[in-house]
Structure 1
């Protein structure tokens, strides 16, 4: 084991938002080592650890290279979205990610890694300060330790799912390179952090940006899901469902409104705010600032463009079941009503603006097609939207919402051959889409499209049928929330699904010509070359940090 030691400069910490209330604090000046251990000085360090959740690791406006929502890593890398923007040269490094020619030196690979490890750095600094502080109220200290362990679990989870072969650093400065710690050992450490958080955290928090006991248990469930520990995941999901107090909102189109940022469906979210006095409104959704879709009310950055394949996935048959034929949707087809909450489609009203989305909103229409992002774009009429640079919003990003937990429960049940339980929990999510309000035409006299959706009212005939239903439902419900690519990888079907997707999409979207997903390589990002270069060597001169396969 190699020891490394690091320091966090207290002067000039950029305090970005984690909660509209408890993070609105000013940074403080340089202080002594003894003063750091005082509660009034540890609390701002805690705030700085929360602040990095939004992906903003510096005072530039380029958190879109390390977005907390993972729109580029989780959506654009999948079959759900194109990069968008002003052609392939606009943020070309994301285009390279999209066509699977990523290398270890592009800025997104470097910056995402750097920001997540900066989060770990800040957490570890706090944990060491709390350990050495004798002035802190014991109960408050224990809770703050639990909060920090939750955050550390989150940062390491993100690193694990994006890069896989990661290094590990604890609060004492003990450093394990990716050749010194196994994948299972990293997962165990992540589990340990969420378990420790669950043991101490309260059921509820006065500050919505702080995690609760049940948020920790839900994240532990997610950790089990990614390891295919189905029994443990099933049990953890049960605990959250029974005890967490969460519920689905009646209407899917209300889930992403700022008014419901911390509502009953939200398990844990990154808290954003605007017009709060912070420099350049960097407390807003800075990582997503390239999403405004154009048109008469939005700036035309035009990134995160829905793929034709995603739109086709919402087509339903005469009974309201997913059709899954990947034939392009027409105006007369039946569609799942969630489609027009998630995707801006020509001729369909956009939010509450009183106008239809039209294809001329779309930047570089010839390259990226007519569709625009909609799900996490908020109304230009909403005071939580900033209509000037940097065009951010105060709408939170949901790291985990209750629909996630229900679908994890369904997935674990199916994998344990409890197909009826799986069907029950899939239907809970699907029924909300069925019974909620649908998007209406401009005069409010009819549905805006032929919406038809049904629940699964008969038992699944086989486990394979149940798995298809689960995976389809997760795609439809969670589209454009940064999860799709990571789901495909953990299911072991990324190469098959993405290469099938590319085969047709290349015909319509010429920028994808030459794109090929290589199994055993493209499931993970490369380790940043800077990390390999600076990671040191062993006594024989071998690098302590090695590259992922294929790069």
Structure 2
């Protein structure tokens, strides 16, 4: 069994710190079990460490909806056009229907929109509690302990605010100096919080050790990578490049191994290979701990449907990869992607079994494809990990709504069932697979972006970084194989062998490489927004996808100046009695 490295939030029940207080002073009472900075039982090293671990535990959004996780498979990937909700139109309907994320029809009253907000501020309140405890820490907490613990707490707080900033844009900033019982209602959402996010990651970078005592804890290099990512979002390319250079040349994992790409692409999504040299910072998951909330609980719906004992979990058909994403893995005969968009035209479109019964004959696409396709998307006729060859229609709940594809990343192997999954609940889908919030391939591609636009950058270095990622994908030993040991499809991939002709050409290549390498990992929507191309790309996506899946997409539209951010939740607007300003056009 995989040992939990950071265990679940055993303190969740007592860490009920209200994110916002009511204005009525007679209601300003500390609820039973509330932890405040002066509580002596928590001022010991054990108490402070437990509170810190509880802050890590909120990364998977425990206690809230699946959208609350820092693995943004709904907002990042579904809204990004990489997948649709899947299952059928009625499953997970109502106020929190995930279909609203693929149709860009979010409302301030959407329950998931509110849950993401609440979960992130819950994480912030826990980080702030750690920081308030440190000044009154007992004698068993050394100066080095305080330095490290405060660094971890501020790293986590920076992460939660980063999530809020790119989700809602203008949000209130609350740190450990704010008294949760008085005055908090005066904090508006009228200030840009990028400077505070920078400050938290900078503090963490300067105070965390290069290696840590346990995998899963943030170290100096994770903080540096996250600060560089923050700079990239702010278009501070010179600052980002400087930090990415250091992470790439000197960064080490929590265990002291130099960051690198694992040899096999699929190992980045294998619970048995977690916390490897590609993992910069990850949500830690564990199975069979007595609490399924310690697992990858947010992924429990994201498996092929109706698989029985011959497939993983048996439920529920959510997170179905899109036609457009599948087509994107088409390559030319030289193994390079079709950057001109022609992958969505004519015979370049990936052959699929939409509308074809599983008992009918079907031969998978014979054209050249990037080998990452079949580690990223489950499709008929191709081995589905070690379960069986994907049978097509019988594993899809409603092809007319979801399409013909199944998710494949972050799915457990048959050989791991009941050991790296939890069989104590309604599904085996509670697995021990970590989700890397930042992995080294992501760092290389972000660094490539910085090289393109930094005044001291190099297009040639950007090409080198992209080719590092592609070289790993070209490892033939790691390609999906048939039972007879042959390649399961016509895999062709090569590096960019000539210099990028211009900055625009380099951007196109780097941005498309992020789409291929990081598909289904919750990055795509946020990338499109920060690149300033969301409206153009996503409306083209809708025009392509809608005729194929009209039930889920017909009439959908991305509206520039509105849909880049979720609305401020109406529940939070109501709590603050008009203090908050709603996002434009909601």
So what's the TM-score if we normalise by structure 1? 0.90
Give 1:110's aligned residue: 114
Counterpart of 1:172 (choices 177, 180, 193) is 177
Q: Answer whether contact 1:221 1:237 (CA < 8 A) is retained.
A: yes
**1:209 alignment partner, SS class:** coil
Correspondences of 1:70-469 after superposition (within 5 Å): 70-92=72-94, 93-135=97-139, 136-173=141-178, 175=184, 179=188, 181-183=190-192, 186-244=193-251, 245-278=258-291, 281-294=292-305, 295=307, 296-298=310-312, 299-323=314-338, 324-325=341-342, 326-327=344-345, 328-330=349-351, 331-382=365-416, 383-387=419-423, 388-390=425-427, 391-416=429-454, 418-469=458-509
1:435 shift after superposition: 2.5
Give 1:540's aligned residue: none
Counterpart of 2:70 (choices 68, 71, 94) is 68
So what's the TM-score if we normalise by structure 2? 0.85
Summarize the Cα distance change of 1:240–1:357 in structure 2 as closer, same or farther, 3 Å threshold.
farther
Q: Answer whether contact 1:88 1:95 (CA < 8 A) is retained.
A: no
**1:139 alignment partner, SS class:** helix
Counterpart of 2:553 (choices 502, 507, 512) is 512
Q: Answer whether contact 2:45 2:138 (CA < 8 A) is retained.
A: no
Distance 2:48 2:475 in 1: 48
Q: Answer whether contact 2:311 2:388 (CA < 8 A) is retained.
A: no
Distance 1:87 1:291 in 2: 15
**1:143 alignment partner, SS class:** helix
For residues 75-111 of structure 1, give each alpha carbon's deviation from its aligned partner in whole angstroms, at most 9, with x where no partner exists.
1101211011232553452111211111011111010
Moved more, 24-33 or 229-238: 24-33
Summarize the Cα distance change of 1:315–1:386 in structure 2 as closer, same or farther, 3 Å threshold.
same
Distance 1:239 1:409 in 2: 11
Unaligned runs of 5+ in 1: 1-17, 537-542
**2:212 alignment partner, SS class:** coil
For residues 313-343 of structure 1, give each alpha carbon's deviation from its aligned partner in whole angstroms, at most 9, with x where no partner exists.
0000011110231132131211000000000
How many residue pairs get matched? 520
**2:149 alignment partner, SS class:** helix
Distance 2:480 2:136 in 1: 59
1:468 shift after superposition: 0.5
**1:268 alignment partner, SS class:** strand
- Show structure 1 runs of 4+ deviating over 6 A: none
RMSD value, Cα? 2.0
1:546 aligns with 2:581: yes
1:443 shift after superposition: 2.2
Distance 2:170 2:3 in 1: 32
